Amino acid sequence: MVKKITHQRLYNITLYYLSRYDSCTSKVREMLKRRILKDAQAGAEVPTEVNEWVETIIGRMQELGYIDDRRYVQNQIRALSSAGKSARFMIMKLTQMGIDIDLIDEVLNASEDNDLTRAKQLVRRKKMGYLRPENVRADFYQKDLATLGRAGFSYETAKMALAEDNNF
């Protein structure tokens, strides 16, 4: 039996989702639309005002502080920075999620980390460059540069991160 799509049911679905995951506005909107589509495919009748309900629910969740795009971007940038991801990678990933580029730039500029610091973290995490045994370091130099390049770092940043005189 398919449950009827109502405002209260969508509100409860959103509350449950947000109790489990930190999310941004676009991800919550996408989740609700997927849920409505799933119910419609199962045979539930979709009311004409369902899109208004979705926007109302999102607005209410923002008022309550359950959805905060700035907090979400800060958390994502903190996590991606500690994983050694470049600013370019973070911008691409967050814009794919539907987050405003101006907000991403603002939070990135306020961050203490820069691309060189993030590249050094990746080098340390993957034990590349000067952290490799000295007898194989030269053999892996190009491979390490390529790894940093795929992570979104510029050639100069990658060279500096792999240099032996880095202080952590």
Q: pLDDT for 130-157, tens place per residue?
A: 888 889 988 999 999 999 999 889 999 9
Domain identity same for 137 and 152? yes
How many structural domains compose the chain?
3
Domain identity same for 83 and 129? no
AA identity, residue 108: L
Q: Does residue 105 belong to any structural domain of this protein?
A: yes
Domain identity same for 101 and 127? no
Domain identity same for 79 and 120? no
Domain identity same for 103 and 152? no
Q: Does residue 2 belong to any structural domain of this protein?
A: no
Domain identity same for 135 and 86? no
| Poorest-pLDDT segment among 48-52, 53-57, 84-88 | 84-88
**Reported confidence tier of residue 168, pLDDT bands at 50, 70, 90:** very low
Q: Does residue 167 belong to any structural domain of this protein?
A: no
Domain identity same for 23 and 54? yes
Q: Does residue 135 belong to any structural domain of this protein?
A: yes
Phi-psi region of 22 (alpha: psi -120 to 50; beta: other; left: phi over 0): beta
Q: State pTM to two decimals.
A: 0.81
Q: Does residue 41 belong to any structural domain of this protein?
A: yes
Residues 35, 52: Cα–Cα separation, whole Å: 15
Domain identity same for 84 and 50? no
Q: Does residue 1 belong to any structural domain of this protein?
A: no
Which residue do the tokens 């990933």 mark? 93
Residues 75, 103: Cα–Cα separation, whole Å: 13
Full domain range(s) for residue 44: 7-64
Q: Does residue 55 belong to any structural domain of this protein?
A: yes
pLDDT attached to residue 38? 94
pLDDT attached to residue 83? 85
Q: pLDDT for 1-45, tens place per residue?
A: 788 999 999 999 999 999 999 999 999 999 999 999 999 999 889
Domain identity same for 32 and 56? yes
